[in-house]
Structure 1
Amino acid sequence: MTTAKESTGDSPRIESLEQLAHYIAEGEKPKDQWRIGTEHEKFVFCRTSLKHVPYEGENGIRAILEKLSEETGWAIIAENGLPIGLKGAGASVSLEPGGQFELSGAPLENIHQTCDEVHRHLHAVKKVCDPLGVAFLGMGFTPMATRAEIPKMPKARYDIMRRYMPTVGDLGLDMMHRTCTVQVNLDYASEADMAQKFRTSLALQPIATALFANSGLYEGKSSGYASYRAHIWTDTDPDRTGLLNFVFEDGFGYERYVDYMLDVPMYFVRRNGKFIDAAGLSFRDFLKGELPILPGEIPTMEDWEDHLSTAFPEVRLKRFLEMRGADGVPWAGICALPAFWVGLLYDEDALSAAWDVAKNWTTEMREQLRLDAAQYGFKAEIDGRTVQDVALEILDISRAGLRRRGRIGNLKDDETTYLDPMVKIAKSGITMGEATAKHFLEDLGGDAKALLEEKKF
């Protein structure tokens, strides 16, 4: 969940609907300027108590941010005088509602650079956190803690969401406080290129969900799902989540996405550094100067940018496309997610081949696959094939796309090396979430401390 950026206070007023589509169109870039922005979240827990770390305290989130700022030289981002993130080197660190620690990476040219960035960040947080008795965990859903045991971060946007979420779904608060993800942000050259990448990645998002499924535990027991995190998203808020089936319609483009976003209920408006609760209100009314909380006021382009960040479909469009279907994963798997999608979407032949796999799937098939991939992982089926079979084919297509890119790293390997962990998992037919649940319950006898020590970064 990416948070809104700081307000500059000098954004132009919205005078026409064309401005809204133009804002998205301004993300177009020629192929030689396409970049890769990787985001990953992780849980923060105390190695002694095994509890999630609160905001305050000697080993709390605030202390970690301040010490990490000293270690890296990154500047502190504050809200109401409290540190809530860091920024530096074209990247940022932010806090999710339950204290999940997120690195939003810089836009980089290749996966080797992305992996270097991930390694630098994780080495830095490990150096800071080891003396504090704190560790990080990469999973899609926290394996032990109840919702009541999760601390809450002091961010006004999240307070608004906490009040609103229970009115639109049963699992939204779990999404906010007990899930983690890895995602990648990718570019497009034109409206047609955006539409093709959107369709292809949206159709295949459940395949990524199965490949990166890593939430098989729920409060110390089997969750019954390969990806409980993915299940949570099916009962969070139907107005702003899901597969967006209009993306597959003829003529889909920027204006159609704008129409969708105008129908997504608002969360907030920022004015003078404060978040004003607008949950459930209409951005269309805002455009007409009829927003009840700001009567007569017309929104700015910065308000539109904020609003774009409040929808959470499986693929999200801003000035780039965000791939959102994967669980949080161990350190070694973080680089695999951007490699998977770059191989498919940044090579024309791979993009065409990937679409060929999914182009005949109907709306009903895609919707069922979303549900089944979350529960059954590789055992789910689509169009007479197992997800395992489809995943292995898609991995082959991605590998070919990465090979044609020919980006060589310091060890003289190309980017295909980052797919190896996923290929191994797919060939096994057992998701990370299923394997972890079995290992915890059978091999470790339900020993939470042993599991967290094994799985920590």
Structure 2
Amino acid sequence: MARDVSDATPLGARSELVDWVASGEKPRAAWRLGTEHEKVPFYTADATPVPYEGPRGIRALLDGIQARTGWDPILEEGRPIGLFDEVGGGAISLEPGGQFELSGAPVETLHETREETVSHIADAKAVGDTLGLGFLTLGMSPLWTREETPVMPKARYRIMTNYMPKVGTLGLDMMYRTATVQVNMDYASEADMVKKLRVSLALQPVATAIFANSPFTDGRPNGFLSMRSEIWRDTDRHRTGMMDFAFEDGFGYEAYVDWVLDVPMYFIKRGAVYHDVAGASFRDLFAGKLAQFPGERATQSDWANHVSTVFPEVRLKRYLEMRGADVGGIDHITALSAFWTGLLYDQEALDGAFDIIKDWSAGDRNGVRAEVPRLALNARVGGRTLREVARDALVLSRGGLERRGFRDGAGRDETHHLDYAQAVVDSGKTAAERLLELYHGTWRGSVRPAFDACVF
């Protein structure tokens, strides 16, 4: 999450909200992909968490990367909470527990997104080395308790921290202890959006399975292969999940907007100040009837910021966000983007993917979503294991990438970026399962070796 929007243009009609989503439509030639990933920093000397302040804290890390890259600081209450590349469009932001996030610029090819990730990691490591910091390649902080985890100085996070325990039992773990990789994808029309959303929602558990990489919590196995995915199941049911309504006849921009309107708010931002309205209705703000601010009307920024606080497995903004995967190393990060790019940016692959999922019921989709955090590739849907479904999806994705035909300087097309995912599916063993083998073997029941083995 890079920056909250500041646009005081007043909203007058529901149609403007629909138009805002529709404005994301782009012709195929203009489609881009943007990769985002989070990583948990730690002190390499003793595997302890990194606070915001201090000579070797997160603020010092941001300052160092700003000096190295020339990116502009994002400030809140006079303190840097991120960086922004005005030229390329990429950004660095802080998640609540100090997870260090790159929101990649929109690029045309997977070769470019990998180069961007490699460059960012090089910057983070160069500065981190001077501060004694490392960065984990795990989907969840494996050792520290929630109480031991630092808190970043961002007002929206203070509001969310107060609200989360009211709507679920694991929301604070989501905020402070998890790390994900996402890719953002474009659509050409409402019909194209609907098809891509349905395919990616239904197949999101496949991505969760392939990229499962969060088996440890509080210094021991947590009973899951993707604990990060399990945490989302008890974060806030009003704003998460598989969006069953997206599969109903007639679904489109309007139905999505109506759903977002009914998701309780967290805050409204006026100037630089975040006002806590957690649990309030955006419909009331839209009508000028918000109890906390009588007569105050919704603005463009209110809407954009509110949309950023819904967390379904695939989020529609003015692009589609794939939200199902744990973070991992560079190959893992790029493979997640490759998986979805091959499936969604080639019509033949998209049609084939739709054929896989078209007969699944809501019960099928929700059932596999419930199973996948624990079972990963061994979860089942439609009478098949997710490993079998993943094999078929990878064939389709590979074909899509081949037909895109984008080659790197060595003449390779984009298909080699799928190799990490292909190896997981071919072996039937996720990164999480390999880590558990180490924990029960050479690590001798300790997660401390992860701070050497699972780092960028």
Displacement after TM superposition at 1:446 (Å): 3.1
* Equivalent residues, number: 454
Residue ranges of structure 1 left out of the alignment (5+ in a row) = none
Per the alignment, residue 149 of structure 1 pairs with 148
Displacement after TM superposition at 1:449 (Å): 3.7
Is residue 224–residue 373 contact of structure 2 (8 Å, CA) maintained in 1?
A: yes
Per the alignment, residue 208 of structure 1 pairs with 207
Deviations 1:129-175 (A, max 9, x none): 11211000121111111111100000000000000000000000000
Q: How does 1:172-211 map to 2 (within 5 A)?
A: 172-211=171-210
For residue 107 of structure 1, give the secondary structure of its aligned residue in structure 2.
coil
For residue 274 of structure 2, give the secondary structure of its aligned residue in structure 1.
strand
Q: How does 1:157-306 map to 2 (within 5 A)?
A: 157-306=156-305
1:15 and 2:37 correspond: no
Is residue 84–residue 94 contact of structure 1 (8 Å, CA) maintained in 2?
A: yes
1:69 and 2:66 correspond: yes
1:27 and 2:55 correspond: no
**More moved, 42-51 vs 440-449:** 440-449
Displacement after TM superposition at 1:59 (Å): 1.2
Q: What TM-score comes out, normalization by structure 2 length?
A: 0.98
What is the identity percentage for the equivalent residue pairs of Structure 1 and Structure 2?
A: 50
Is residue 2–residue 103 contact of structure 2 (8 Å, CA) maintained in 1?
A: no
Displacement after TM superposition at 1:442 (Å): 1.6
| Residues 3 and 108 of structure 1, relative CA distance in 2, 3 Å threshold | closer
Per the alignment, residue 430 of structure 1 pairs with 429
For 1:157 and 1:3, how far apart are their aligned partners in 2?
A: 13
Is residue 287–residue 298 contact of structure 1 (8 Å, CA) maintained in 2?
A: yes
Per the alignment, residue 364 of structure 2 pairs with 365
Cα RMSD (Å): 1.0
For 1:373 and 1:161, how far apart are their aligned partners in 2?
A: 27
Per the alignment, residue 403 of structure 2 pairs with 404
1:162 partner letter: T
Per the alignment, residue 101 of structure 1 pairs with 100
1:47 and 2:73 correspond: no
Displacement after TM superposition at 1:427 (Å): 1.2
For residue 105 of structure 2, give the secondary structure of its aligned residue in structure 1.
coil
For residue 359 of structure 2, give the secondary structure of its aligned residue in structure 1.
coil
2:40 partner letter: F
Per the alignment, residue 451 of structure 2 pairs with 452
2:39 partner letter: K
Displacement after TM superposition at 1:331 (Å): 2.2
For 2:439 and 2:176, how far apart are their aligned partners in 1?
A: 22
Is residue 2–residue 92 contact of structure 2 (8 Å, CA) maintained in 1?
A: no
Per the alignment, residue 326 of structure 1 pairs with 325
For residue 34 of structure 2, give the secondary structure of its aligned residue in structure 1.
strand
For 1:321 and 1:143, how far apart are their aligned partners in 2?
A: 30
Per the alignment, residue 137 of structure 1 pairs with 136
Is residue 220–residue 446 contact of structure 1 (8 Å, CA) maintained in 2?
A: no
Per the alignment, residue 58 of structure 1 pairs with 55
Per the alignment, residue 75 of structure 2 pairs with 78
For residue 57 of structure 1, give the secondary structure of its aligned residue in structure 2.
coil
For 2:79 and 2:111, how far apart are their aligned partners in 1?
A: 34
For 1:33 and 1:112, how far apart are their aligned partners in 2?
A: 17
Displacement after TM superposition at 1:440 (Å): 2.2
For 1:35 and 1:206, how far apart are their aligned partners in 2?
A: 23
For 2:62 and 2:433, how far apart are their aligned partners in 1?
A: 33
For 1:263 and 1:215, how far apart are their aligned partners in 2?
A: 32
For residue 440 of structure 1, give the secondary structure of its aligned residue in structure 2.
helix
1:395 and 2:394 correspond: yes
Is residue 68–residue 123 contact of structure 2 (8 Å, CA) maintained in 1?
A: yes
For residue 204 of structure 2, give the secondary structure of its aligned residue in structure 1.
helix
Is residue 7–residue 273 contact of structure 1 (8 Å, CA) maintained in 2?
A: no
1:125 partner letter: A
For 2:440 and 2:98, how far apart are their aligned partners in 1?
A: 27
For 2:436 and 2:51, how far apart are their aligned partners in 1?
A: 26
Is residue 220–residue 447 contact of structure 2 (8 Å, CA) maintained in 1?
A: no
For residue 319 of structure 1, give the secondary structure of its aligned residue in structure 2.
coil
Per the alignment, residue 377 of structure 1 pairs with 376
Displacement after TM superposition at 1:3 (Å): 5.0
1:18 partner letter: S
Deviations 1:43-79 (A, max 9, x none): 0000112111110112100000001100111111110
Per the alignment, residue 38 of structure 1 pairs with 35
For residue 14 of structure 1, give the secondary structure of its aligned residue in structure 2.
coil
Q: What TM-score comes out, normalization by structure 1 length?
A: 0.98
For residue 42 of structure 1, give the secondary structure of its aligned residue in structure 2.
strand
Deviations 1:262-294 (A, max 9, x none): 100000000021000010000011111110111
Deviations 1:313-356 (A, max 9, x none): 00000100000000011222111111100000000000000011
1:444 partner letter: W
Displacement after TM superposition at 1:436 (Å): 0.9
**More moved, 441-450 vs 147-156:** 441-450
For 2:323 and 2:365, how far apart are their aligned partners in 1?
A: 16
For residue 443 of structure 1, give the secondary structure of its aligned residue in structure 2.
coil
For 1:217 and 1:392, how far apart are their aligned partners in 2?
A: 27
Is residue 5–residue 305 contact of structure 2 (8 Å, CA) maintained in 1?
A: no
For 1:352 and 1:72, how far apart are their aligned partners in 2?
A: 42
For 2:149 and 2:245, how far apart are their aligned partners in 1?
A: 36
